[in-house]
Structure 1
Amino acid sequence: MDPFSRTSAGVSKAGKSATGKGAGGSETADGGKTQRGIQSVEVGGRVLLALAQARTPLALSDLAGAAQIAPGQAHAYLVSLSRLGLIKRDELSGRYEPGPLSLRLGLLHLENQPAFRAAVPRVAALAEAIGFSVAICIAGPQGPTIVRYEHAGFPLHVNLHVGTVMSLPATSTGRVFCAYSRREVLDAMWANQSGAIGSAMTPADQSAAFEATLDAIRAHGLERSVDVPSPGISSLSAAVLDAAGRLALALTVIGSTGAIDVAADGPIARALLATARDIGAELAIAPSLLASSAS
């Protein structure tokens, strides 16, 4: 059971209000004693969980309903959560979305992931070696999301930064994720991007030509885009696979069309694939080291 999906039994017994300071322990079914908690913090956690599960900004009434609290009570929590930076309110739409502190916590969690740790120094070296910017992308709720962006060369006339979500069908990064993502992950990303553009998009509806493209990506581990979706910008994207052959993340090299060589057998493609293989090799070594140390 999710820790935010229940109310503290100790608070109820003690008669504390939703904003009470704490709760005494209570007996569990096996005779043990639950740890003391603070109900108001748990309710605030329910608000954050509701926002995370929605995967889109929410109006106050929708957020309150998802968190199973009254709108007036939700507003008080949103004021405090906004002051902390865990939530922010869009001034135009009035909807609530994750705040800067949530992003920092998410990035801290990401930095402890083996694939990200292995990728960061290699991507920095790759960007310096080839002279083009390189993005590290992982699967986010809305789609492939940039979680690190190493700038190199001349500035690009395109708004790419940490947090940018890539289109699944229209970008080289998105098509790499289409080729390698688990079906449930891919279905969720397609559904969310469909809502964003206001039309239905599901992997099952894709044409035979698109499926052939995905087969080619799996065969070569690489995809490219030229002048799409941004005119004058081209890219190469490569998959990084873990020890089980699953997609851990994608690396995408971005540059001005005409300046960047996006040939599948060109020097940039070879350097990108070599970097992706090096990261994957480190991920394959880590489980074997853990197994040997355990024995």
Structure 2
Amino acid sequence: MDSEQHDKEDKGQRAVQSIEVGGRLLLALAASRLPMSLKDLAAEAGLSASRAHPYLVSFGRLRLIEQDATSGHYALGPAALQLGLTCLVQLDPLKVALPIAEQLANSSGLAVALAVWGNFGPTVVRMIDARQPLHVSMRAGTVMSILGTATGRAFAAWLPRHQLEQAMGAALGDPPGAAPARSLAADDAELREIVAEMRAHGVCRAAGRPMPGVNAFSAAALDHEGVPAIVITALGHQDQVSADWDSPTALAVRDAAERIAHGLGAHPLRR
């Protein structure tokens, strides 16, 4: 058996080392916006050019990569595209997000909610209760206010205006008498504030609203197209959750959203 084809033990499971080595080349190409030379590609994968080349020949036969005839640079091929498209079809944002949300709830003791953008706006699809009783009106199926809740604000930071206007009004956190489908023209300043908050801190917050004495932080997990696929929110009593932008809760929510986004194939956010 070739030395690069031997199996190894890894945490009690057998793994083919040569596949892991070659996989580093594919991952390097996936992380690059442009085709790569053999030298640069091998260096990025931590290999010598002579060691990387046989892997690239095999990947080329499988159509996982392509080599430009003029420049000699390598890029992902049609088979890699098909794998990616199939993965996107099978991908379920809630399935990706739920274990991360449960971990956040367990480590913090706070209530954690997951919400998606539904027909009527931000809609809670999973609510994990706090370790200590927290009397809130959020449950699966609750539609959240776009501007009056941290969850809604996390969506508002990324979605286009026309999509937000279609869902305005009559949600948890809206002021009494809010009319459906109202214009956002009067809320331009607040929308700009929401976008600025997200860019500066990676999270949105709601301090004492819509529930007095309860603070919340939310962040959107973007998919591969930069669209908010799901929003994760952590909330608790103000004596447990500081409203400070750099509080442990704010940082934990931001980290959780980034981990979910990574699982959805998104590129890392640059703030």
Q: 2:258 aligns with which of 277, 289, 293?
A: 277
Aligned to 2:154, which of 173, 176, 189?
Answer: 176
1:34-45 to 2 correspondences below 5 Å: none
1:206 aligned residue: 187
The residue that corresponds to 1:187 in the other structure is: 165
The answer to whether the 8 A contact 2:104-2:256 is kept is yes
Q: In structure 1, the residue corresponding to 2:259 is in which secondary structure?
A: helix
Deviation at 1:189, TM superposition (A): 0.9
Structure 1 residues without counterparts, runs of 5 or longer: 1-111, 287-295
What residue is the counterpart of 2:141 in the other structure?
163
Indicate if the aligned counterparts of 1:142 and 1:192 stay in contact, CA closer than 8 A: no
SS in 2 for 1:189: coil
* Equivalent residues of 2:170, 2:180 under 8 A apart: no
Separation (CA, whole Å) in 1 of partners of 2:214 and 2:260: 26
Q: In the alignment, which of 251, 255, 274 is matched to residue 232 of structure 2? A: 251
Task: Work out whether 1:118 is the aligned partner of 2:90.
Answer: no
2:91–2:264 Cα contact (<8 Å) kept: no
For 1:159, give the aligned amino acid. Answer: S
Partner secondary structure for residue 137 of structure 1: strand
Q: What is the DSSP-based 3-state SS (H/G/I as helix, E as strand, rest coil) of the residue aligned with 1:128?
A: helix
2:194 is the counterpart of 1:217: no
**Greater helix share, 1 or 2?**
1
- In structure 1, the residue matched to 2:73 is none
Q: Label 1:184 to 1:268 Cα distance change in 2 as closer, same or farther (>3 A).
A: same
CA distance in 2, matches of 1:117, 1:202: 34
Q: 1:230 Cα deviation (Å)?
A: 1.1
1:128 matched to 2:106? The reply is yes
* C-alpha distance in structure 1 between counterparts of 2:192 and 2:251, whole Å: 24
3-state SS in 2 of match to 1:239 = strand
Distance 1:140 1:200 in 2: 15
Looking at structure 1, the residues matched to 243 and 92 of structure 2 have their Cα atoms a distance apart, in angstroms, of: 29
Which whole-Å CA distance do the structure 2 matches of 1:151 and 1:209 have between them?
Answer: 30
Label 1:204 to 1:113 Cα distance change in 2 as closer, same or farther (>3 A). farther
* Matching residue within 138, 141, 149 for 2:116: 138
Q: Give TM-score, length-normalised by structure 1.
A: 0.54
3-state DSSP class of the match of 1:197? coil
- Show CA shifts across 1:152-206 (max 9, x none): 2211122211011111111111111111123442221126769973377322331
Which segments of structure 1 move beyond 4 Å, counting only runs of 4 or more?
191-196
Q: Give the residue type in structure 1 aligned to 2:144.
A: M
Of residues 249-258 and 173-182 in structure 1, the stretch that sits farther from structure 2 once superposed is 173-182
Among all aligned residue pairs of Structure 1 and Structure 2, give the percentage whose two residues are the same amino acid.
33
